[in-house]
A and B are shown apart, each in its own frame.
Chain A
Amino acid sequence: MKASLYIAISLVIAVFAVMPLISSSSIAYMLGLAFIFVVYCVSWDIVAGYTGQVNLGHTVFIGIGAYTTALLSSGRIGMHLPIWITIPTGGAIALLFGLWIGVICLRLKGYYLALVTAVLPLIFIQLANIFSGIFGGYEGFSVGLSRGFSPDISVRYYIAMLFMLVSIAAMYAIVKSRMGVKFRAVRDDEELAEAVGINIVRYKLIAFCISAFFAGMAGAMTVHYRLTVGVDLFDIPLMLAVILSVITGGIGTFYGAVIGGFAIFIAKNWFFRMLADALPVPVSDDLLLYVLLIVLILKMPEGVVNRLEAFLSSRSQ
């Protein structure tokens, strides 16, 4: 079992490694963005799936990481720091916000928690709009080709892939460690967890910090990958896409967020776009995505991957 899983993972990596050689640059570009999107999804799953705190403001971390690195490196506020400094800075600032939102979440539950976290990113969007001289408003701004990882799209693709692999490995190590066990204890039964001596407050906050750090790093990577920053990185559609991905793959399963993230990103940016063009009615890729989300919530709350897996294994027996 273990060995065959390693083989499968190596195979996946091998296929992705040759993709830029066989496909067009716009497909490679999209796949690179999908790698980063997977990190958004997995980092959300750490808090939502492992500690059970449904944070609808995950895009705050992504956006903060992105705008931090964009502002510090592009010269818009008079600074031209090298990107290997600004990207971790983005992650670090996102981490601080993670700590803060984590503290808020300690006080709130259910609807109230969801409401506060859902509104937070909207405040950032509105601030970006008001101070458009700095943040570029709803048009966003470009950091310029010279501030990308490389002018060559294949190089940027490999950097994004490496980032994803390292991040996933790091987060996997965390959830499989003793700390991950404690996260799940907090999710399953707070009182029991407290009774066996787990410091709930501490572990919730740690989970938020980890989630925010990786999301912030991923947001920052996005900027230097796609060369632009905009309020879409804070916005509700991105949040819904992340949630949809994790639900599709299976929440709290780790691999679910990885597979779901890929599947949904590629579906939205490639398959749905083709489908929208092919259909006789004027629909957009976003519209199809929301229909999918509604259907999934209603029909398969336990995750599509689990269903698919059950289906495939029942066939082979």
Chain B
Amino acid sequence: MRRVILLLLCCVLILGCTGGGPKAGKEVVKIGVIGPMDTKYGIAMERAAKIAAEEINAQGGINGRQVEVITADTKLNPDTATSEFRRLASQSNVVIGGFSSGVALSMLEVMAETKTLWLGDASSPRLTDKVAQDYEHYKYFFRPLVTNASTFPLDMAEMLDYLNDQGVKIKKVAILRDDALWTDDVMKVLRPLLEKKGYEIVMDKKVQKGTEDFSTLLLEAQDKADVIMPIIAHVKGVALVKQWKDMGIKLPIAGHDLSAIDPDFWNATEGKCIGEIYTADGGGVPTPLNSKMAHFISAYQEKYGKLPEAYSAYGVYDAVYIYKAAVENAAKAGEKNPFDADTLISYLEAFNTQHPFEGVRGKVAFTSNHDLAWGSEFVRNYICQWQDGKQVVLYPADKATGQLITPWAE
């Protein structure tokens, strides 16, 4: 018994000493990427960060230091997410990523405790509200990856207007959404906005992550509504779209379905996603809209053999370069430690609407509470549709690559 205790004690001591290294190495910059690594959102984050890191290293690193990417998995679970965030906080200079607003809110507390710079994902306005309410504690959070959930409704309302303009008569809307915090925030704005525009929300159902049977929901929507509007990121769109097509539901699906952004979505649904209309989140559209985007897409395809599978790839790629730019601006201004989190805040804040950062998704600018500025020249959501194995941009008109098709009506 005593021997067993002594044995265990030795293990603990070893543990204490091995884990007690200094905060990040001297000669490298460590970028921590955190996300749900079992999903394509997390995988895309990791891949995009590695591409950015390789490019930066080939050009001499950030302020002379080589970049190293370390990853952590949230498992979409607040416990794992917070302990992994803590690990990254003690090992890296900056944390990029997130996903799932409820989980991200928990990580935000660890960020405040460890004073770690975090270029985050997760769309809930509650994250950036914290920055506004308690700047001193939460100023380390910036959200360059996605636009605020309260701006999604602007895109979705435009989507319905666009469809009406194109002759698809829509008045009654059936909403199917993730049972997660971020959709509550979307609905807070979307409901009054649609009502003001004369639409009627006839159905608003929360769907549990992992749901596969959508039959009763689809039938109810067909009875009541003119359009099915999914607002889903955690729920799998594959099963929804498949049953929509199999059952021959005579309504369009038009909404915010993150899984539809994946170029593999066509194969995953056996082509049954034909006609699905979705918003390409935060400009995450695998069509080159500018030269930086074209470069990123081809680099991604070259390294991984496919186009980016999720919106998060674009945001993370931008985030790494934003971090690099902020560090270099800090160094230029003569800061003693340009990698220090507190120092960097004012340099990140300097990327505002007057002086935006030119990213792959267009102009990236932070608002006073560290949110992403939304607008046609800044990052916004594009309205896209699945047509014959291809993703086509429908709206805004100046970016459009094709015309609307209506296979559900046939």
CA distance in complex: A153, B112 (Å):
12
A139 and B208 contact, CB distance less than 8 A? no
Collect the chain A residues with CB atoms within 8 Å of residue B73's CB: 284
A residues contacting the other copy or chain, number (CB 8 A) = 54
Closest chain A residue to B38, Cβ basis = A284
B12 and A8 contact, CB distance less than 8 A? no
Contact residues of A between 112 and 135, Cβ < 8 Å to B: 129, 132-133
Return B73 CB to nearest CB of chain A, in Å: 8
Contact residues of B between 1 and 51, Cβ < 8 Å to A: 1-9, 11-13, 15-17, 19-21
Return A36 CB to nearest CB of chain B, in Å: 12
CA distance in complex: A4, B2 (Å):
8
Collect the chain B residues with CB atoms within 8 Å of residue A141's CB: 78, 102, 105-106
Closest chain A residue to B22, Cβ basis = A24
A145 and B113 contact, CB distance less than 8 A? yes
Closest chain B residue to A151, Cβ basis = B113
B19 and A139 contact, CB distance less than 8 A? no
Contact residues of B between 173 and 209, Cβ < 8 Å to A: 179-181, 184, 206, 208-209
B residues contacting the other copy or chain, number (CB 8 A) = 51
A142 and B106 contact, CB distance less than 8 A? yes
Q: Among the listed A138, A145, A266, which residue makes an inter-chain contact with B209, where contact means beta carbons less than 8 Å apart? A: A138
Interface SS of chain B: helix
B8 and A139 contact, CB distance less than 8 A? no
Closest chain B residue to A11, Cβ basis = B9
Closest chain B residue to A308, Cβ basis = B4
Closest chain B residue to A5, Cβ basis = B2
Most chain A beta carbons < 10 A, residue from B89, B106, B137 = B106
Q: Among the listed A9, A19, A23, A142, which residue makes an inter-chain contact with B109, where contact means beta carbons less than 8 Å apart? A: A142
Most chain B beta carbons < 10 A, residue from A5, A25, A151, A229 = A25
Contact residues of A between 248 and 275, Cβ < 8 Å to B: 255, 259, 262-263, 266, 269-270
Return A16 CB to nearest CB of chain B, in Å: 8
Q: Among the listed A24, A29, A31, A270, which residue makes an inter-chain contact with B20, where contact means beta carbons less than 8 Å apart? A: A24
Q: Among the listed A140, A270, A305, which residue makes an inter-chain contact with B4, where contact means beta carbons less than 8 Å apart? A: A305
Q: Among the listed B5, B108, B137, B206, which residue makes an inter-chain contact with A142, where contact means beta carbons less than 8 Å apart? A: B108
Known contacts A23-B20, A226-B83, A228-B79; A137/B5 CB under 8 A: no
Collect the chain A residues with CB atoms within 8 Å of residue B108's CB: 142
Does A312 sit at the interface, judged by CB under 8 A? yes
B114 and A15 contact, CB distance less than 8 A? no
Return B352 CB to nearest CB of chain A, in Å: 28
Closest chain B residue to A139, Cβ basis = B102
Contact residues of A between 275 and 292, Cβ < 8 Å to B: 284
Does B93 sit at the interface, judged by CB under 8 A? no
Does A175 sit at the interface, judged by CB under 8 A? no
B101 and A139 contact, CB distance less than 8 A? yes
Closest chain A residue to B73, Cβ basis = A284
Contact residues of A between 1 and 59, Cβ < 8 Å to B: 4-5, 8-9, 11-12, 15-16, 19, 22-27, 29-31, 33
CA distance in complex: A16, B101 (Å):
36
Collect the chain B residues with CB atoms within 8 Å of residue A137's CB: 102, 179-181
Interface SS of chain A: helix
Residues 94-129 of chain B, each 1 if its beta carbon lies under 8 Å from chain A, else 0: 000000111101101110111000000000000000
A232 and B109 contact, CB distance less than 8 A? no
Collect the chain B residues with CB atoms within 8 Å of residue A270's CB: 15, 19
B106 and A19 contact, CB distance less than 8 A? no
CA distance in complex: A140, B101 (Å):
10
Q: Among the listed B9, B103, B114, which residue makes an inter-chain contact with A140, where contact means beta carbons less than 8 Å apart? A: B103
Closest chain B residue to A142, Cβ basis = B106
Does B82 sit at the interface, judged by CB under 8 A? yes
Known contacts A12-B9, A145-B113; A26/B87 CB under 8 A: yes
B3 and A27 contact, CB distance less than 8 A? no
Does B245 sit at the interface, judged by CB under 8 A? no
Contact residues of B between 132 and 182, Cβ < 8 Å to A: 137, 179-181
Return A239 CB to nearest CB of chain B, in Å: 15
CA distance in complex: A93, B105 (Å):
27
Residues 294-317 of chain A, each 1 if its beta carbon lies under 8 Å from chain B, else 0: 000000000001001100110010
Collect the chain B residues with CB atoms within 8 Å of residue A227's CB: 82, 106, 109-110
Collect the chain B residues with CB atoms within 8 Å of residue A16's CB: 12
Collect the chain B residues with CB atoms within 8 Å of residue A229's CB: 78
Most chain A beta carbons < 10 A, residue from B4, B89, B180 = B4
B103 and A26 contact, CB distance less than 8 A? no
Does B76 sit at the interface, judged by CB under 8 A? yes
B12 and A19 contact, CB distance less than 8 A? yes
Most chain B beta carbons < 10 A, residue from A4, A227, A284, A309 = A227
CA distance in complex: A119, B95 (Å):
38
Closest chain A residue to B12, Cβ basis = A15
Known contacts A23-B19, A26-B90; A266/B79 CB under 8 A: no
Does B86 sit at the interface, judged by CB under 8 A? yes
A26 and B89 contact, CB distance less than 8 A? yes
Closest chain B residue to A133, Cβ basis = B184
Return B125 CB to nearest CB of chain A, in Å: 16
A230 and B5 contact, CB distance less than 8 A? no
B180 and A132 contact, CB distance less than 8 A? yes
CA distance in complex: A242, B244 (Å):
43
Collect the chain B residues with CB atoms within 8 Å of residue A259's CB: 4-5, 8
Q: Among the listed A19, A23, A25, A262, which residue makes an inter-chain contact with B8, where contact means beta carbons less than 8 Å apart? A: A262
Does B403 sit at the interface, judged by CB under 8 A? no
CA distance in complex: A141, B8 (Å):
34
CA distance in complex: A131, B181 (Å):
12
CA distance in complex: A26, B85 (Å):
9
B2 and A228 contact, CB distance less than 8 A? no
Q: Among the listed B13, B21, B77, which residue makes an inter-chain contact with A24, where contact means beta carbons less than 8 Å apart? A: B21
Return A275 CB to nearest CB of chain B, in Å: 14
> Which A residues lie at the B interface, using CB under 8 A?
4-5, 8-9, 11-12, 15-16, 19, 22-27, 29-31, 33, 129, 132-133, 136-142, 144-145, 151, 153, 226-230, 232-233, 255, 259, 262-263, 266, 269-270, 284, 305, 308-309, 312-313, 316
* Shortest 6 CB-CB contacts between residues of A and residues of B: A139-B102, A27-B19, A140-B78, A23-B16, A228-B78, A142-B106
> Which B residues lie at the A interface, using CB under 8 A?
1-9, 11-13, 15-17, 19-21, 73, 76-80, 82-83, 86-87, 89-91, 100-103, 105-106, 108-110, 112-114, 137, 179-181, 184, 206, 208-209
Contacts A24-B90, A140-B106, A227-B82 known; 18 new A-B pairs at CB < 8 A = A19-B12, A23-B17, A26-B91, A33-B83, A132-B180, A132-B206, A137-B180, A137-B181, A139-B181, A142-B78, A145-B113, A228-B78, A228-B106, A228-B109, A259-B4, A262-B12, A266-B15, A270-B15
